[in-house]
A and B are shown apart, each in its own frame.
Chain A
Amino acid sequence: MEELLEEVVPSEDLQRFERKYHRELESDGWIRIETKFEYAFCLVRSRYTNDVKRGLMLFENLAHEHPDGRRDYIYHLAFGNARLKNYTEGLKYCRAFLEIESNHQMNLLEAYMRKQSDREIVKAMALAGGTVLFMALGLLGMGLAMVRK
């Protein structure tokens, strides 16, 4: 799963689909589903966070606009959120998808995000525990210092 999430789209490909997107927007005033989809596909695989966010917006838009392709869009909404480490949001899309279709790819993505978000909880708890411990030690130290005085 890490390899899939870490794979970055070659910038020339991203630029190619971006140009196609803007060309259609300028010449026709609207964008074909296919063009929007291709551009969003590349954006969520970009190395830049803002691109991924933009890709997620386009996929959300596509999910409303083109229900027939919804499974592809919901998968990518989960995928893009996983790349941004927004695991809570990503897991919501995983569950929505898996309620409709049992899917090997989605199972792997869901398992990965679960594991990562559990790790973050453990990390946060350990950190909070550590902070409390050090504050207690600090207070104890101050108390001892005062007693000595």
Chain B
Amino acid sequence: MNKMRSVVNKLHERIDYLIEKCPNMTAAPYNYNYIFKYIIIGDMGVGKSCLLHQFTEKKFMANCPHTIGVEFGTRIIEVDDKKIKLQIWDTAGQERFRAVTRSYYRGAAGALMVYDITRRSTYNHLSSWLTDTRNLTNPSTVIFLIGNKSDLESTREVTYEEAKEFADENGLMFLEASAMTGQNVEEAFLETARKIYQNIQEGRLDLNASESGVQHRPSQPSRTSLTNEASPNRDQCSC
């Protein structure tokens, strides 16, 4: 009876193993050199989730409802021949989430601060978002200001020049973008990554600090035996 139980247990483990491990085998464990953590912040309805969706899916999400709590997106990009995985936390803009989403600021390497060029109030609130960001992130966090909905020129309420001046005064990077047409969306996410990477290269960002928002992955995976086994069998995996 005991023998049978042990065989059943082994079978159970084997099934667990197949179920858990097989999907992961379709991709090598570390097919990127760095992980950068981003947050997207700004007033409700400025298009934070639409920017994320445009960046990760290359699609415009029409009729996008208000985000509940946080959303998450990821994409691997390339900077200077290095593969970087962006882990993007998109926070809800509704006031009721303001206090609880502050947890997500911690350890962000990049912060995308978004306003809507057609709604002046969203621009006026930037200083409060900036204060939160400065207080809750570290000094090396790259803050990128995005004026979204640049396609809606006829209803514009904030000029490019004014926002550019605000960005320069506060040492922020800045672009106007459109989640709908995709204009400048890639640029905003990629330029943030380039700036973070530059900070690493110039030693301004301590990779060993837990709050840096950057994790370095060795280009040669440490679990070589597993990878070498997994790669040739990748296509044969039956699950």
Contact = CB atoms under 8 A, between A and B. Distances in A.
Contact of B8 (A3, A7, A34, A127): A127
Given A105-B71, A123-B19, A138-B4, A13 B64 contact: no
A127 B71 CA distance: 36
A119 to B, nearest CB: 6
Contacts, number: 64
B96 A37 contact: yes
Contacts of A131: 8
Contacts of A105: 67-68, 71
Interface in B28-85: 49, 53, 61, 64-65, 67-72, 74
A134 B7 contact: yes
A42 interface: yes
B103 interface: yes
B15 A123 contact: yes
A127 B96 contact: no
A47 B68 CA distance: 20
A104 interface: yes
A127 B11 contact: yes
A103 B65 contact: yes
B8 A119 contact: no
Interface residues of B, number: 28
Contacts of B11: 126-127, 130
A101 interface: yes
B156 interface: no
A127 B100 contact: no
B108 to A, nearest CB: 13
A13 B103 contact: yes
B166 to A, nearest CB: 30
Contacts of B106: 10
A138 B3 CA distance: 10
A83 interface: no
B209 interface: no
How big is chain A's contact interface, by range?
A: 20 to 34
B87 interface: yes
B120 interface: no
A3 B87 contact: yes
B10 to A, nearest CB: 10
Most chain A beta-carbon contacts within 10 A, residue among B12, B15, B53, B67? B15
Interface in A15-42: 17, 34, 37-38, 41-42
Contact of A75 (B15, B69, B74): B69
Nearest to A8: B103
B65 A38 contact: no
Interface of B: 4, 7-8, 11-12, 15-16, 19, 49, 53, 61, 64-65, 67-72, 74, 87, 96-97, 99-100, 102-103, 106
Given A3-B72, A79-B69, A104-B53, 19 more contacts: A1-B72, A4-B71, A9-B103, A17-B99, A42-B103, A69-B96, A71-B68, A72-B69, A75-B69, A76-B69, A104-B49, A105-B67, A122-B19, A123-B15, A123-B16, A126-B15, A127-B11, A127-B12, A135-B4
Interface of A: 1, 3-4, 7, 9-10, 13, 17, 34, 37-38, 41-42, 69, 71-72, 75-76, 79, 101, 103-105, 119, 122-123, 126-127, 130-131, 134-135, 138
